[in-house]
Amino acid sequence: MSRQEKFDLAIVGAGIVGLAHALAAVRRGLSVVVIDRDAQANGASVRNFGFVTVSGQERGQVWRRAMRSRDIWLEVAAPAGIEVIQRGVVVVARRPEARAVVEAFLQTEMGEGCLLFEPEALRSDFPELAGQDFAGGLWSPHDVRVESRQAIPQLAAFLAEKHGVEFRRETAVHQIEPPDIETSRGLVFADKVIVCPGDDLATLYPDRIAQYGVTRCKLQMMRLADPGFRLPAAVMSDLGLARYSGYAALPEATALRRRLEAEQGDALDNGVHLIVVQSADGTLVVGDSHHYAVTPDPFASERVDEIILEEFSAVFGGPPPRVLERWTGIYASATGRTMFADAPREGVRLVMITSGTGASTSFAIAEEVVDELFGSTTADARKIA
C-alpha cells in the first residue's frame, strides 16, 4: 500500500465492537479499514445469544446506551439482510420475592412501556411456560434478538459492500504510530486508530488494559432441539432478576437473593441465570454461567449445564429437549465497570466492553467514541465513562 492509500480511520478488531465503530465512522462519511487476526468472527460476538438486552441493564447511562444500540440494530437490520427473529422479553417471576422486584422495576423510568403479568395472563399469553405455579412476570417490548452467528458476518458484508469498508483479515497488528500501523502483512496508513481487542489482554497496550483490572469471564451455553412450540419473545427467570443490575440493584432484590441463596445456592455460585431464545429453525439457545480467571480453562462442566437445564425445566415444565450443541464463550470483564475508552496516545483509542454487553451497547458506545475522536456531531459531546 502506498501512502496515498491512507484511511481516515483504522479499526483493530472485527467483532461487534469493531464493526459498530466502523458503522459509526462510515455514517460520518469517513474512510475505514478494519484489521483482524482471524479469518472470520470467532469470539464472543458469535458465541452469545444475539440478544440485544435493554431491560435489566444497569440503570442510567448503560441502559440509555442499550436503548440507543437497539434502535441502531433496527435501523441497520433490514439493509444488511439481518433478520430480527424475536422481539421483547418475558421475565418469569417464580417466587413472590421475584414479583416484588418486577413491581419495583416497573416504578422506575426503565419500566416505561413494560407490563406486569398476573399468573393467569402469563399462562394465557405464554402457554409454553408450563412449569410450577408462578407469582407473575414482567413483559418488556424493548429487547430484540438476532442470530449472532449470521448477523456478524452479514453486518461486515454490508459495511464492505454498501459503505466501502476495507477488511484486512488474517492480519495481526504489531505496532501503532499513526499514521503508520505495522501489521503482519505490511504497513497500513490511517489518520486515527480505534483498537477493539475483545478479550485479548496482552497484544496491544497491555499496561493500559491492566490499569482497569480486566480479567476474563467464561460462560457455558447450549443449543436444544426444536421443542415443538414457538416462543414469541426471549425468556428469563428469577436468577436473571438477581444478576442483571437493572433489577438486582433495586432494594427489593435483597430478599430475592436471600431466598435464592437458600434454594439455589449452586446456581449463584456458578453465576448461572436463565436466558432462552429461539432461532428461525426452531432450536433454542439456552444459557448461561459465569466463571472468572485471567486465563479460564477450556473445559465445560456437565454439572453447570445441568443447573442451567434444571432452571429451564422449572420454567417450561418437563425435561428439556435434546442438547444439539455445547460451547463455551469468553469475554473481557472488570468489576464495577461495564466498559472503558482509553487514549494510549494521540489519535488512538482503546475500547473494551467489560461486561458481556457488546451486542447490547456497542453501537451507542461507538457513536460516542467516534464523536470524541473526530469531533462531536451533536451540540454537546457525549461523555465516555
Residue type, 148: S
Tell me, what DSSP letter sits at residue 335?
T
* DSSP states of 83-128: ---EEEEEEEE-SHHHHHHHHHHHTSGGGTT-EEEPHHHHHHH-TT
How far apart, in whole angstroms, are the C-alpha atoms of residue 17 and residue 360? 10
pLDDT tens per residue, range 290-303: 999 999 999 999 99
Q: Report residue 147 as a C-alpha cell.
A: 442470530
How far apart, in whole angstroms, are the C-alpha atoms of residue 87 and residue 325? 24
CB 104, CB 250: distance < 8 Å: yes
pLDDT in tens, the chain (385 residues): 444 489 999 999 999 999 999 999 999 999 999 999 999 988 888 999 999 999 999 999 999 999 999 999 999 999 999 999 999 999 999 999 999 999 999 999 999 999 999 999 998 999 999 777 899 999 999 999 999 999 999 999 999 999 999 999 999 999 999 999 999 999 999 999 999 999 999 999 999 999 999 999 999 999 999 999 999 899 999 999 999 999 999 999 999 999 999 999 999 999 999 999 999 999 999 999 999 999 999 999 999 999 999 999 999 988 999 999 999 999 999 999 999 999 999 999 999 999 999 999 999 999 999 999 999 764 343 344 4
User: If DSSP codes are grouped into helix, strand and coil, which group holds residue 257?
Assistant: helix
Q: Which domains does the chain have, with CATH numbers?
A: 1-85+147-210+336-385 (3.50.50.60), 86-145+215-333 (3.30.9.10)
Residue type, 220: Q
- Closest C-alpha among 357, 17, 185, 46 to residue 25: 17
CB 308, CB 272: distance < 8 Å: yes
Q: Report residue 121 as a C-alpha cell.
A: 395472563
pTM of the model: 0.95
Q: Report residue 137 as a C-alpha cell.
A: 412476570
